[in-house]
Amino acid sequence: MGENFLVQPKKYKTLMADAGSRSIMDKTIAFFENMGKTRLIEDFNRRVWYREFLDFLKKEQIFSKLLTPKQYAGGDPDCRWDSARNSEYSELLAFYGFGYWYCFQVTILGLGPIWMSDNEVAKKKAARLLKEGAIFAYGLSEKEHGADIYSTETKLAPVGDGTYVANGEKYYIGNGNEAAMVSTFGKMDDGSGDYVFFVTNFEHKQYELKKNVVNHQEYVANFALHDYPITDEDILIRGQKAWDAALNTVNIGKFNIGPASIGLAEHCFYEAITHAANRVLYGKPVTDMPHVQKGFADAWLRLIAMKLYQRRATDYFRLAAADDRRYLLYNPTSKMKVTLQSEQVIALLWNIIAAKGFEKDTYFSIGTSDIWGPSKLEGTVHVNVQLIRKFIENYFFHPKEYPEVEPVLDDRDDNYLFNQGPARGLGKVQFHDYAPIFREFETLPNVERFIEQVNIFKKMLMKAAPDKAQGADPSFSLPVGEMFSIVVYGQLILEQCKLDETDSAVVNQIFDFMVRDFASFGLEIYDIHVTNDVQREYCKRIMLIKPERNDEEYQKVWKEHVYPLNGEYEMTQ
């Protein structure tokens, strides 16, 4: 068997060098494996709130170690805010269930405005509560307003004695049933109209927990504040900075969604291949059928590509600085591309294992219901593609030199994330030239074809750029943005392949599906009614490029990497 690139809890390989981090991963694996698959699935199916998991986190002080910057850690050497470690932990938690991951995810979001604020009292309180095993929440969304946070209705009104009262209702707030600190977003009701973040607590009698909005183990709260008393000590941030903190917090949280989709898909992959390889139809294992092999190989290659992209994007995320904001492109690309790819992976696997995927004692049945969520949260696909579009011009036409970015796996705090500054100015961010890394791999036929597609796309942007009406019409501009995102995706995948010295057969086969995906975007844009004839000509050229057949290489990937995953992992019953 070649190297197993997927998470394998029973032979776990962490990226972390320090004993404290290893211990977090090992203890978490032991917690779930001891719980066992039967109980894990039963709890999911019965929608049981994960009390034992929270007790475990508290006992081991895991959120405290993962989510407290060193400055507030009181000397605990295991504490730091390390995006690589948090990504790894997200993948691991989601491997066992989205509910567990979601509790971590919304705690991260809840802590965002706290660590971003200048409120030292709140920060020290958060650090203490983390040590005591608390979970946190992020109270941004309201029922009627979705992505439109300008329309936030929650109000914070001064009372006249230097204190305030909060009124309003929040919807879709994870952990809102038990969060010790809910970072709540509202507007000042003092004539200024300023945005504001303040802290509330679920135990206060003016905090009405109305219901769980979703039918799941996780608690996604609808809560209301009725004249909830607030003092200056509870106010985190006011004015433009509060608005920026809302968006910058989502930037941080968003980055964990891709890893979660990966973890869920990995567990499903093990179940699917083990089932199919041991199911005999017409006297032969199902995995002997060529189309089944193709489905598995495609799913595996997509999964590996997701991991390669995410790993590389993490380096840029950790090195982000005021003069290097490339993460602002790589982050939404992760969010929309990796999550959508995970949906495709599950779809491919489910087509193969069919009825088995419905069975209530499989993790796969959890996967089939949960995999569709991540692409829609913290900015839908549309919202993220709209963001990504702002970078097209500079990415293709105004590259800039940057020092080489090495893998960042040390124990630094990613402090810049709490100091991202104004959320505007995206169109000014510049990127290193994407072309050289593609050239380094151009001897691989499918990378070469991908480069051809990129070049045609770039030419289309130069010679037949979207006109004003097309630019203003998301039904046109969104597919163009998605086509752009595949270039960024390919670039970072190759950068990571270079660092990892990935088997060239794997790289070339990854670009087999990348060329097919690029071509299908060509068809999509071709078919849009407002596309003009010149643009259609370019689309036609893109969609007629197909990957190169290489049976030997494909068989190598199947035999060395994909098929050996049969029986490789089964969760302890």
Ligand X SMILES: Cc1cc2nc3c(=O)[nH]c(=O)nc-3n(C[C@H](O)[C@H](O)[C@H](O)COP(=O)(O)OP(=O)(O)OC[C@H]3O[C@@H](n4cnc5c(N)ncnc54)[C@H](O)[C@@H]3O)c2cc1C
In the complex, least distance from residue 386 CB atom to ligand X, rounded to whole angstroms: 4
Of 475 and 555, CB closest to ligand X: 475
In the complex, least distance from residue 391 CB atom to ligand X, rounded to whole angstroms: 15
In the complex, least distance from residue 153 CB atom to ligand X, rounded to whole angstroms: 14
Contact, 191 vs 233, CB < 8 A?
no
CA–CA separation, 175 vs 170, rounded Å?
12
Tokens of 95: 């491997």
In the complex, least distance from residue 109 CB atom to ligand X, rounded to whole angstroms: 6
Q: Which residues make up the interface to ligand X (CB under 6 A)?
A: 106, 138, 140-141, 146-147, 172-174, 214, 220, 377-380, 382-383, 386, 474
Question: What is the residue whose two structure tokens read 């270079």?
Answer: 498
CA–CA separation, 263 vs 96, rounded Å?
8
Of 213 and 435, CB closest to ligand X: 213
Strand-pairing partners, residue 138, are 183
Question: What is the residue whose two structure tokens read 């087999």?
Answer: 512
In the complex, least distance from residue 29 CB atom to ligand X, rounded to whole angstroms: 26
Of 357 and 373, CB closest to ligand X: 373
In the complex, least distance from residue 209 CB atom to ligand X, rounded to whole angstroms: 14
CA–CA separation, 23 vs 295, rounded Å?
36
Backbone angles phi, psi at 16, to 5 degrees: -85, 135
Strand-pairing partners, residue 237, are 197
In the complex, least distance from residue 378 CB atom to ligand X, rounded to whole angstroms: 5
- Name the residue whose CB lies closest to ligand X: 146
Of 53 and 98, CB closest to ligand X: 98
Q: What angle do CA 57, 59, 64 make, to 5 degrees?
A: 55
Strand-pairing partners, residue 164, are 158, 230
Pairing of β 136-139 and β 155-158: unpaired
Residue 528, class by beta-carbon neighbours within 10 Å (0-12 exposed, 13-18 middle, 19+ buried)?
middle
Dihedral sign for Cα 498, 503, 506, 511, please: positive
Of 219 and 511, CB closest to ligand X: 219
In the complex, least distance from residue 446 CB atom to ligand X, rounded to whole angstroms: 32
Of 9 and 168, CB closest to ligand X: 168
| CA–CA distances in Å: residue 542 to residues 161, 452, 463, 537 | 67, 8, 15, 9
In the complex, least distance from residue 449 CB atom to ligand X, rounded to whole angstroms: 31
Of 69 and 113, CB closest to ligand X: 113
Of 27 and 145, CB closest to ligand X: 145
Of 173 and 299, CB closest to ligand X: 173
Q: DSSP states of 123-136 as a string?
A: HHHHHHHHHTT--E
Query: Which among 512, 515, 501 is positioned nearest to 554, based on CA atoms?
Result: 512
Dihedral sign for Cα 117, 119, 124, 130, please: negative
Of 20 and 474, CB closest to ligand X: 474
Q: What angle do CA 307, 510, 341 make, to 5 degrees?
A: 50
Contact, 218 vs 103, CB < 8 A?
yes
Query: Which among 241, 244, 250 is positioned nearest to 111, based on CA atoms?
Result: 250
Of 224 and 435, CB closest to ligand X: 224
In the complex, least distance from residue 350 CB atom to ligand X, rounded to whole angstroms: 22
Query: Which among 280, 273, 277 is positioned nearest to 350, based on CA atoms?
Result: 273
In the complex, least distance from residue 502 CB atom to ligand X, rounded to whole angstroms: 34
| CA–CA distances in Å: residue 446 to residues 121, 313, 509 | 56, 23, 7
